[in-house]
Structure 1
Amino acid sequence: MEPLSFQEYICSLNPAVLPRILRICSGVYFQGSVYEISGSECCLSTGDLLKIIAIKLQNVICKDVEREQTTELPLTFRGLFQPCPDPQPYTSLEELIQSKWRAQEAQPLCFFSDADIAVDRQVIPKAQRIFLEALQGKKAAVRTAGSHSKPCWLQLPLSLRGRFFECGRQQDLTLQEVLGLQGGWPQRLLCPALGSCPILLSPVYEVQAIMHLRKDVVKIPSTLEVDVEDVTEEMQHIHFIKPLLLSEVLQMEEALPVQAEILEGPSSTAIFKNDWIPRLQKGQQIQIHGKGCAWRILASARKGTRHFLLSSTYQGRFRRRPREFTTVYELAASLQAGQHLRVVVTQDCEGHEEDVPSLSVGDRLEVRCLLQASTSTTVLLCNRSSSEEEEDQETEELMLPLDLGGSFVEETCDSKKYSLAEVLQQLPLPCDVKVVAKDPSLARDILSSFSVLRLEACVTEPFLVSSFCEEPNESFEIPPRWLDMSLFFLEKPVHPQAPSTDWSRVEELKEPFYYHLLKQLPGSSAPPPPRPPKRKGAGGEAAVRTAKGTGPEKAKPPSLAVPKPPSFQKTSSPFIERSTPNEYSTHLHLRRASQSSKAPRDKGMEKSDSDHDYETVDEDLQKTIRKMQTVFPF
């Protein structure tokens, strides 16, 4: 067909013949112009294909021909219309028929000529009403009916030239009947309810179409100024690509298994350290077999920064290993409700304060619970017993501060070999294990190289079992919500057999994603036991501020830290410069200096001051000075 404007094509379209495929020819939106449709950007380029799947009447635009006024008619308008003869003549019978006649109309097309028509030795007078009944090849079957003659049937060639005018119909039509005529638009009509002037009616449709690489159905107004041509017959084999996100495929299990092609790879590949993620690029074809049923365990090496995700299909065997703790805080963080935790002290530990008990090598502790000792202090309640195993062994109750350091090893006596499923059923997580039997299906089981693995938590994230189309027997499992990407389904047969090799039994995690995953795990929002404030030494900054009287309490003389005796130097001055001056020592020094220059000390004062080391040091110095003055008089 010849190109038509989009409005003209849609107005003449019969909904019963949908869907139809159109090609964009030219127009305002030429060579990839971008415009907004239904709140989203859309691009129409010359040569693009549209698959029209539905049209919906939105409104009808009514234009007064003489006054050039435009109004919008509601679809419930009750006025009646009559066709208005077109004042413009048609120069050929074919032109008239193409413009005004539709075979679906119930009544024939009525027209007249402004000159006599001679055909088959018969003459049709000018202004005689002629009714078009049917088309027969390149001729039109017509009938004439005059006031004094019987109906006459004739065949007029479509190539007949002249000046032809359409006759108006006599019956009244509703708005819905006018729209159902599907004639050329806009149609020239008369409507007494709207005045005596001729009007033009133009219906506006919402066109629903499918386009290549558009995820949703595009809704286009029929008034869009582009030219189109119908290419339905020659484009029946065209498959319109509908992009999907991998996360959406999770909800489409009924469509699986299926082959797909990647439109855009994952935005971020910083998840697993493996060989198959870098291959997920644009153009790569994969087969999605179905939703995986395996659960996973998050594991970490005790020393180092390597972290893994173990599938429940992993066939290695584990042996339990005792956990190690370096602070009481770690003991408290590992305590779980309804479970017993017993540890052995492997390093002597002395408390910082008098009320903090000391721990010795070999002490056995049963960790019980956390207690709130005061509004700002939390302690760990434990039962201590000696290393000797006796039947009637007495236990001692201890309250250990959380900042107490030490070395503790979990007390376990378990030599059983566990599968991963048995670990999850019989051992509380987190737990420390060692791989004692490798997975025989793996060419290299990296987990066996670690002396200790900590199994931290169970991960229930959904995965999709997939494989590359060129390697259908080797599968991998993609987590769509962690590794989302855009793809589309292919109309190709899928591989009938399930893959025999699983590449995803052990996936090593990249460190940033490991910490991100920890935050997403259930229970990660529960706060750990609070860390107490760090203790500061007696000679630290806090102690200095208190000694100077800047703290809330009154300064006290230092009783534990005694200043070192000053070094002796030859000097003629009775004042000795101290190595560590402070307010307390300076005050004593000035007082002694003033007393020695005015009067000898009395015995009570001498006895009272003799309790300080500063007094003893000064007396010895004074004696030394007096001896030097006697030997070396000035």
Structure 2
Amino acid sequence: MAGMTTLPLQQFIASLDNTCLPKILQVCSGVYFQGSIYEISGSEVCFSTGDLIKVISTELLSVCCEDISNNKKFELPISHTGLFKVVPEEMPYSTVEEMVSLRPVGLESCLPFTFTSHTKMTFDNFTLGAGKALTVLSIERREGEEDQVRCHVQGQQETSAEVCIPLSCHGEFFECESEECFTLREIMSSPSLRTRRFRFINTTKCECPLVLTPVYQVHAIMSMRKNVLKFPSSLEVDVADVTELCKDVHFVTPLSLTEVHSRPDESFPAVVEILEGPETRSLFKCSWLPELSKSGHLVFHKTGTSAMILLSSLKTRKAQQYFLVSQQYGGRFRRRPREFNSVYELYVASIQAPGLMVSVTRNCEEVEEEGLPALSVGEQLVVVSCKRMELPCESSVGEKQSVEALLCQRLQEPGDDDDDDDDEEEVKQEDEREEIFLPLYMQGHFVEVLPDNKKYSLRDLGKAFSLPLDIKVVSRDSELEADPLVGFACLRIEGAMLEPTIQASFPHRPDHCFEIPTQWLSMSVSFTKDPLPWPSGQPPKCHVDKVTEVTDAFFYEFRKKENSDTAAPPRPPKRNLSSSKSCKKTAKSSKKSSKADKSKHRPNKSVPTEELANLTLNTKRRPPAPPPPAISNDQPPPVVPRKHSGAEMTTGKALPNTYVAMEDSKKKVPLCSVAADVDSDHDYETVDETLVTMMKVAQENVMFY
């Protein structure tokens, strides 16, 4: 090490220019901390005499401030917003050039500055006495002539003049305190300012002069270690620059997957060694992930950008699954109708798919004061647009309220007597569409009505429809040994992405490849000189996995990026309690009238007709049970008549209820003498022998049809 210049690590790193990196340093100060081990952020760093360190980058973290009066030190972050002033030097400058060279370069605030001369100066026919203050305005540079500084001189009786002083002028020059202020970043960016002393403008912190020293985080690698070291430049180690002497020394260079992806195409294929495996809590659930262990090897075939689709299974009793699928997937899909549990979900879906048609799957009662219309099961709605609607009731302030609502067209259902109408009336009825408003805060249950039943590829689905989209695999990818997407009743396409990927395989199976998304997997590797696991010039035909299962953590991270600015659903408006009572009364009356109007057009199948109500029940033989009536919220469900025992059938009388008083039990009425009450809560039907005979003949005709 004879002839090499040794510097403290702090001083050497502060003088480094990042454009000159990497640099190879040799430790010259012996064993550090008596044990040669320094623990930084949980990692061991060993510096012994003769160790070689390859510095690959530096990062400015903070500034060390040393108080000259008591040698106390403290650190300030580089983002510190306080301002500093330069403390004038006590020692005089011998030339003007020496004084100017210590001014900051590249900062607009470097001029003007003021200095004084303790000696008399004479320039041509102009003489300056000692102690005169001169303010440097500019530096004059002319070709073929000596550089000069143009200075302003304040004379007696408010007279002033300008004088040009050569930079080579000798004397005793002292700086005057300047009003110019600097931030920590400005000071650290100027090599000339780093050598100066400063004081806080706010003198309450520290009035004494300070020496400012940058503290860097050094990123380096060592010849005997395979991971990147990170340590502060403030370590008390002396080093020497041996870059030129150690050009042939091989350093293992750890690379992240992102750095690997940025390497030129000529670097592939290559065999790499895994220096640091993925985290234990990984975002992937696939067969190749457990084999990515430390000191293992991989074959990197090529890099590229792949179009991928994120799929999710339905929420069932089993755990929900997620898949990252390449658009090269060869299976075919059919669309599945989506389900919506609120009008707001309909609104979000209609933005991406205009003209959305849905069918109501659950009845909704009308609430006039909240603007909620009545919906029946099976009604079809076509979403038109989002508009504002006025509510019939006033707010607590007494003003009319308007809310955002979804304008929909309700398709009229054909009546039972449509077969008797002519063609013109049918066309007219099909064209009639009732417009209704559904407030965005309304809860409802809808299912999408699909116009086709075609088969699509992933690429075609992405071009023809907006996401999210519900699908089902109807034909598997024949190139996959086991297609994990087959068997799901429904899958949802959550989103699409373009991911930078690395096509990789294991050396013992070089033809079985998989794609590693570089932005979702954290690991470090190093390129080796190992030969490729196939004959020279005969690469294998690669089969790439097109489906990769991921965890729910991957899905949540993806949703954070995609829906960070999604607005929350609207809330129902505040109601005025006094006005809501009157609204309820009007709502009930209007509801009755609307029900009456609907009953004219749509017969209620849950109420028995008058013809059946007037018939009597024959206890000897019962007709077959009719199909269950349609459920309606307007009428209670029909009650099935009780089954009678043999004793009841022979006597024609009902048994007494043992839980009722004996006086009531004595009032026994024959069952056959009770007529059906149409207006009662229970729909008991009575049928005579004529109806039984008619139904029997009808059944026989159907059987011989």
TM-score with structure 2 setting the length? 0.46
Indicate conservation of the 8 Å contact 1:26/1:226, yes or no: yes
1:466 is aligned, of 498, 504, 507, to 504
1:381 matched to 2:381: no
- Distance between the aligned counterparts of 2:446 and 2:55, measured in 1? 73
Indicate conservation of the 8 Å contact 1:269/1:483, yes or no: no
- Distance between the aligned counterparts of 1:463 and 1:438, measured in 2? 24
Per the alignment, residue 324 of structure 2 pairs with 309
Shift of residue 533, structure 1, vs aligned partner: 3.7
Deviations, residues 582-610 of structure 1 (Å, cap 9, x unaligned): xxxxxxxxxxxxxxxxxxxxxxxxxxxxx
- Distance between the aligned counterparts of 1:405 and 1:398, measured in 2? 15
Shift of residue 296, structure 1, vs aligned partner: 0.8
Give the alignment of 1:200-599 within 5 angstroms.
211-212=222-223, 213=226, 225=238, 239-254=250-265, 255-267=267-279, 269-304=281-316, 305-337=320-352, 339-353=354-368, 355-373=371-389, 377-388=403-414, 390-392=426-428, 393=430, 394-494=432-532, 497=539, 500-503=542-545, 505-521=546-562, 524-528=563-567, 530-533=569-572
- Distance between the aligned counterparts of 2:427 and 2:580, measured in 1? 53
Alignment partner of 1:300: what SS?
A: strand
- Distance between the aligned counterparts of 2:580 and 2:346, measured in 1? 38
Task: State the AA in 1 paired with 2:408.
Answer: C
Alignment partner of 2:358: what SS?
A: strand
Indicate conservation of the 8 Å contact 1:472/1:499, yes or no: no
- Distance between the aligned counterparts of 1:231 and 1:526, measured in 2? 54
Task: State the AA in 1 paired with 2:411.
Answer: S
Task: State the AA in 2 paired with 1:502.
Answer: V
Per the alignment, residue 186 of structure 1 pairs with none
Task: State the AA in 1 paired with 2:51.
Answer: D
- Distance between the aligned counterparts of 1:499 and 1:553, measured in 2? 78
Shift of residue 407, structure 1, vs aligned partner: 2.9
Shift of residue 397, structure 1, vs aligned partner: 0.7
- Distance between the aligned counterparts of 1:20 and 1:510, measured in 2? 42
Alignment partner of 1:433: what SS?
A: strand
Task: State the AA in 2 paired with 1:479.
Answer: P
Shift of residue 532, structure 1, vs aligned partner: 2.1
Change (3 A) 1:318 1:225: closer
Change (3 A) 1:420 1:7: same
- Distance between the aligned counterparts of 2:584 and 2:351, measured in 1? 43
- Distance between the aligned counterparts of 1:502 and 1:447, measured in 2? 16
Change (3 A) 1:519 1:376: farther
Indicate conservation of the 8 Å contact 2:355/2:383, yes or no: yes
Change (3 A) 1:290 1:4: same
Deviations, residues 371-425 of structure 1 (Å, cap 9, x unaligned): 2336772211101112339533201111012343333221113222111111112
Change (3 A) 1:231 1:470: farther
Per the alignment, residue 205 of structure 1 pairs with none
- Distance between the aligned counterparts of 2:329 and 2:364, measured in 1? 42
Shift of residue 329, structure 1, vs aligned partner: 2.2
Change (3 A) 1:553 1:471: same
- Distance between the aligned counterparts of 2:412 and 2:293, measured in 1? 63
Alignment partner of 2:510: what SS?
A: coil
TM-score with structure 1 setting the length? 0.51
Shift of residue 526, structure 1, vs aligned partner: 4.5
Task: State the AA in 1 paired with 2:497.
Answer: V
Alignment partner of 1:530: what SS?
A: coil
Indicate conservation of the 8 Å contact 1:24/1:228, yes or no: no
Shift of residue 451, structure 1, vs aligned partner: 1.0
Change (3 A) 1:433 1:230: closer
- Distance between the aligned counterparts of 1:231 and 1:506, measured in 2? 50
Shift of residue 365, structure 1, vs aligned partner: 0.7
- Distance between the aligned counterparts of 1:320 and 1:557, measured in 2? 47
Change (3 A) 1:45 1:275: farther
Shift of residue 291, structure 1, vs aligned partner: 1.9
Deviations, residues 230-259 of structure 1 (Å, cap 9, x unaligned): 997xx9985211111112222213433332
Task: State the AA in 1 paired with 2:551.
Answer: K
Change (3 A) 1:240 1:341: same
Indicate conservation of the 8 Å contact 2:304/2:502, yes or no: yes
Task: State the AA in 1 paired with 2:544.
Answer: D
Indicate conservation of the 8 Å contact 1:28/1:225, yes or no: no
- Distance between the aligned counterparts of 2:510 and 2:254, measured in 1? 23
Which sections of structure 2, spanning at least 5 residues, go unmatched?
A: 8-21, 57-93, 99-169, 171-218, 391-400, 419-425, 586-705
Indicate conservation of the 8 Å contact 1:371/1:378, yes or no: yes
- Distance between the aligned counterparts of 1:277 and 1:46, measured in 2? 41
Alignment partner of 2:290: what SS?
A: helix
- Distance between the aligned counterparts of 1:279 and 1:508, measured in 2? 16
- Distance between the aligned counterparts of 1:28 and 1:6, measured in 2? 19
Shift of residue 459, structure 1, vs aligned partner: 1.4
- Distance between the aligned counterparts of 1:432 and 1:246, measured in 2? 33
Give the alignment of 1:120-135 within 5 angstroms.
none
Larger-Rg structure: 1
- Distance between the aligned counterparts of 1:440 and 1:370, measured in 2? 45
Indicate conservation of the 8 Å contact 1:299/1:454, yes or no: yes
Deviations, residues 541-595 of structure 1 (Å, cap 9, x unaligned): x9xxxxxxxx9969989998xxxxxxxxxxxxxxxxxxxxxxxxxxxxxxxxxxx
Indicate conservation of the 8 Å contact 2:306/2:499, yes or no: no
Indicate conservation of the 8 Å contact 2:25/2:240, yes or no: no
Alignment partner of 2:387: what SS?
A: strand
Indicate conservation of the 8 Å contact 1:439/1:445, yes or no: yes
- Distance between the aligned counterparts of 2:385 and 2:583, measured in 1? 38
Indicate conservation of the 8 Å contact 1:253/1:291, yes or no: no
Alignment partner of 1:241: what SS?
A: coil
Task: State the AA in 1 paired with 2:566.
Answer: P
Per the alignment, residue 134 of structure 1 pairs with none
1:48 is aligned, of 33, 36, 51, to 51
Per the alignment, residue 184 of structure 2 pairs with none
Change (3 A) 1:27 1:227: farther
Alignment partner of 2:509: what SS?
A: coil
- Distance between the aligned counterparts of 2:55 and 2:553, measured in 1? 48
**How many pairs align?**
381
Change (3 A) 1:498 1:447: same
Indicate conservation of the 8 Å contact 2:272/2:526, yes or no: yes
Indicate conservation of the 8 Å contact 2:5/2:241, yes or no: no
1:32 is aligned, of 27, 33, 36, to 36
Which sections of structure 1, spanning at least 5 residues, go unmatched?
A: 10-18, 54-72, 78-192, 194-207, 536-541, 543-550, 561-634
Task: State the AA in 1 paired with 2:449.
Answer: E
- Distance between the aligned counterparts of 1:552 and 1:345, measured in 2? 31
Alignment partner of 2:351: what SS?
A: coil
Q: What is the root-mean-square deviation in Å for CA atoms of aligned residues?
A: 4.7
Task: State the AA in 2 paired with 1:472.
Answer: P
Change (3 A) 1:263 1:5: farther
- Distance between the aligned counterparts of 1:465 and 1:472, measured in 2? 11
Task: State the AA in 2 paired with 1:280.
Answer: L
